[in-house]
Chains A and B, each alone.
Chain A
């Protein structure tokens, strides 16, 4: 079963790299926000997978809950900031 978890973690890492393309080269600023949000929501899953691989789920589930909170607040703050700025033109 560890093998299955390991390959699942590698696959999620590959999906995060693909989402990083949108975060790095997205034509507008909200596109980058979408990429960062997708990476963050996959990280929450990946943290619990790491906990299952190390057999310390009770510790890693707290870390992933804190990371979910941080991700939510970061995206809210960034979108609030870019709401006031009128500079979201295409680059």
Chain B
């Protein structure tokens, strides 16, 4: 069980690292939103799944309820994180920020 939890946590940390590197290194604002929206959500799912499995090692009713609540947080993040990213894109588009083209300056 501990090995499964550790493997899931390492996979989640790899995804979170990819998201952070993408946020730091992509050339413009619209392309930076992609790692912020996708990789953080998937890394959160893997890490929270690892915590929910680890929380079940004493199989009692309060522990099962706590694990269900952790998965509820994951469901909420899956709904809210892409919505927040979409709102940020909308704000950028309406404010008239131009996307990055090949050959222009990195921002």
Contact = CB atoms under 8 A, between A and B. Distances in A.
B107 interface: yes
B96 A37 contact: no
User: For this complex, into which size category does the number of interface residues on chain B fall?
Assistant: 35 or more
Nearest to B69: A61
Contacts of B76: 65, 68-69
Q: Which of A34, A52, A71 has the most CB of B within 10 A?
A: A34
Interface residues of A, number: 47
Contacts, number: 132
Interface residues of chain A: helix, strand, loop or mixed (majority): helix
Contact of A57 (B47, B66, B91): B66
Contacts of A88: 91-92, 95-97
Interface residues of chain B: helix, strand, loop or mixed (majority): helix
B51 A49 contact: yes
B96 A18 contact: no
Nearest to A14: B20
B77 A83 contact: no
A79 B95 contact: no
A82 B91 contact: yes
A56 to B, nearest CB: 10
Interface of B: 2, 5-6, 9, 13, 16-17, 19-20, 23-24, 29, 32-33, 36, 40-41, 44, 47-48, 51, 54-55, 62, 66, 69-70, 72-73, 76-77, 80-81, 83-85, 87-88, 90-92, 94-97, 107
28 contacts: A8-B9, A15-B16, A19-B20, A27-B107, A30-B29, A34-B29, A34-B32, A35-B23, A38-B36, A41-B40, A42-B16, A44-B44, A44-B73, A45-B48, A48-B48, A48-B73, A61-B73, A65-B73, A68-B80, A71-B80, A72-B81, A72-B84, A76-B84, A79-B90, A87-B95, A88-B91, A88-B97, A90-B107
